[in-house]
Structure 1
Amino acid sequence: MPEFDLDSFKKTWQEQPVQNKYGDNEILQMLNRKSRNYVKYIFWISVAEFLLFSVIGIFYFFQNEEDNGFLNILEKLGAQKTPQIENRFDTIYWILKISSLIVTAYFVFKFYQNYRKIRIEENLKGLITRILTFKKTVNAFILISILLLVAFTSIFTIFIFYSLNAQNVEPKSSEMTIFIVGIIVTTAFSVLLIWLYYRLVYGIIMSKLDKNLKQLKEIDSQEV
């Protein structure tokens, strides 16, 4: 009986050609489907956000309590809450609110467009381009959401200073310091919360999409 050589058997086994379980086309289709699903998830999340903001806006419209915060600050600083000031505030508030909903609706539409454009039969370079475009859209949505918050706070702060000046009111320096510091701290904290929210909700999906993009680029480099 011939002697069994384990080392020789290992060497022979290691030299055997390894066949890929999936071909590049199958992997491409699989990554395409996954990418399409990730884009779809973000689309539905953005739809939910749009509906939530709309419902909240309608609720506060009927409650008529949305303006209490800034107008109460005006009174604490020494200004009078006149009907003229209230009307101006309401006008500014609804212009900003509608602008915010328009911006959100625009990005919902863009996410839907991106979802529709990623097709299962998409060629490799086309798919990579679609994913890169989608990433830019998501980053723009996050950035504009933060900028909208800063813009809203800045506009309302300017409105408060304008109202004080119109009524020739000069608040105490301590009250003004508290007001300015409060605005800065509140805005910074709100921006942080928004950033954390998008980092958590969108970040998880985008990280998976990035993995797909990396694999697609690897396949593309092999084909060149």
Structure 2
Amino acid sequence: MDELDFLKQHWKKDEDFPKVDKEGIRKMLHNSSSSIVKWIFYISILELLAGLALNFLLPNDTDINPDSDIVSTLENALSVVFYIVIAYFIYKFFSSYRSIKNTSNTKVLLRDIIETRKAVDQYIRFNIYYIITVSALVTVTMMITDGVFVKPWGEAIFYVVGISIFMIIAIAILLGLVKFYYKVVYRRLVNKLNKNYEQLVQLDEQEEVPTIE
């Protein structure tokens, strides 16, 4: 429980609990927002490290099928693009964290919160689109490896339909797990950030200290 939640809990239970002025509440919201963005930054770093570890530990198509040069080149290109984009988002999260931590201006803080929310949404969408793209590439690789395009047309159609249905189900399950993970981890943090944003807006709109229920 952070400092702001602690105060809210006691305000509900004890009317004699010391009240905090407007600037005190703003400071707590500022610290809470900084902490949230810091965790987003840390988690994205851990995800990048986990991805790099898997990339080194798991065999690639060249190891399994030395003749798949084109597919391997495409996969390597996608990996390079992926890590460049992820590095960009990590930089964005770090920049937002530093800006939120160092600013004392409410308008700048509100702007940084909005930019962080957008960056998180873009980060999630990028990862989902990347998973779909890689899954499609894996499907094509499986077909090429099994020589589906040199099979009789009837057998080829049966194989393509079968593998496509299997991959669609597998991708749907994988995306479901990924979305659940992002909902538990990132959406939870973003929701807290949204609450801080709303309360900061209320502080700017009110002349008196807002009542926190």
User: Fold-level match, TM-score > 0.5?
Assistant: yes
Count of residue pairs brought into register by the alignment: 190
1:108-167 deviation line (CA, Å, top 9, x unaligned): 111001101113542222211110110000000001110111122223444556775764
Q: 1:146 to 1:194 in 2, by over 3 A?
A: same
Identical positions, percent: 28
5+ unaligned residues in a row in structure 2: which ranges? 1-15, 208-213
Task: Give the TM-score of the pair, scaled to structure 2.
Answer: 0.78
Q: 1:28 to 1:219 in 2, by over 3 A?
A: same
Task: Answer whether contact 2:148 2:156 (CA < 8 A) is retained.
Answer: no
Task: Answer whether contact 1:35 1:209 (CA < 8 A) is retained.
Answer: yes
1:38-79 deviation line (CA, Å, top 9, x unaligned): 00001000000011111111122xxxx3339xx7xxxxxxxx
**Which structure 2 residues correspond to residues 66-215 of structure 1 after superposition, within 5 A?**
66-67=60-61, 83-84=66-67, 86-158=68-140, 164=147, 167=150, 170=153, 171-215=155-199
Q: CA RMSD in A?
A: 2.7
Q: Distance in 1 between matches of 2:135 and 2:80?
A: 16
Task: Answer whether contact 1:29 1:120 (CA < 8 A) is retained.
Answer: no
Q: 1:19 to 1:190 in 2, by over 3 A?
A: closer
Q: 1:27 to 1:130 in 2, by over 3 A?
A: same
Q: Distance in 2 between matches of 1:220 and 1:119?
A: 19
Q: Distance in 2 between matches of 1:121 and 1:51?
A: 30
Task: Give the TM-score of the pair, scaled to structure 1.
Answer: 0.75
2:36 partner letter: Y
Q: Which residue does the alignment assign to 2:38?
A: 40
1:89 deviates by 2.3
1:67 partner letter: D
Q: Which residue does the alignment assign to 1:29?
A: 27
Q: 1:161 to 1:172 in 2, by over 3 A?
A: closer
**In structure 1, which of residues 43, 51, 57 is the aligned counterpart of residue 49 of structure 2?**
51
1:32 deviates by 0.3
Which structure is higher in RCO with an 8 Å CA cutoff and minimum separation 6?
Answer: 1
3-state DSSP of counterpart to 1:174: helix
